[in-house]
C-alpha cells in the first residue's frame, strides 16, 4: 500500500504557475478551477487521491507556498493491521 500524504497550499503565496502541477509524479495536483486567490490566481490544489507526500511539488515551488505532510510510519503500521 503506497504511503499516504497531502499538501496544503498557502493561497497567500500561490501564483498558479503550475510548476507543481507539471512536476507531480502522481499527477494529483491541478489548479483549482473555481477558487481565485486575493491576487487573482487559481491556486494549486490536490484534485484526487494518490498523494504520497513525496515533496517534489514543494521542491519546484518558487513561492515556498506548499507544506507537505506524510503519514507517519507508526500510523501506516496501524492502518495496515
CB of 34 to another protein, least distance (A): 18
What sign has the CA pseudo-torsion 9, 67, 59, 25? Answer: negative
- Indicate which single residue of 1, 2, 6, 45 sits in contact with another protein (rule: CB under 8 A): 6
Q: Which of 18, 29, 32, 50 binds another protein (CB under 8 A)?
A: 18
Q: Residues 37, 39, 42, CA angle at the centre, nearest 5°?
A: 40
For another protein, how many residues bind (rule: CB under 8 A)? Answer: 37
Instruction: Give, as ranges, the residues between 19 and 38 that touch another protein (CB under 8 A).
Output: 19, 22-23
Distance CA 44, CA 46 (A): 7
Amino acid at each position: 500500500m503506497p504511503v499516504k500524504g497531502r499538501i496544503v497550499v498557502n493561497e497567500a503565496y500561490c501564483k498558479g504557475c503550475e510548476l507543481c502541477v507539471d512536476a507531480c509524479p502522481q499527477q494529483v495536483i491541478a489548479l483549482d478551477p473555481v477558487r481565485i486567490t486575493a491576487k487573482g490566481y487559481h491556486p494549486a490544489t490536490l484534485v484526487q487521491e494518490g498523494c504520497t507526500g513525496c515533496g517534489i511539488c514543494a521542491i519546484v515551488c518558487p513561492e515556498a507556498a506548499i507544506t507537505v505532510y506524510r503519514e507517519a510510519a507508526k500510523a501506516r503500521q496501524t492502518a495496515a493491521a
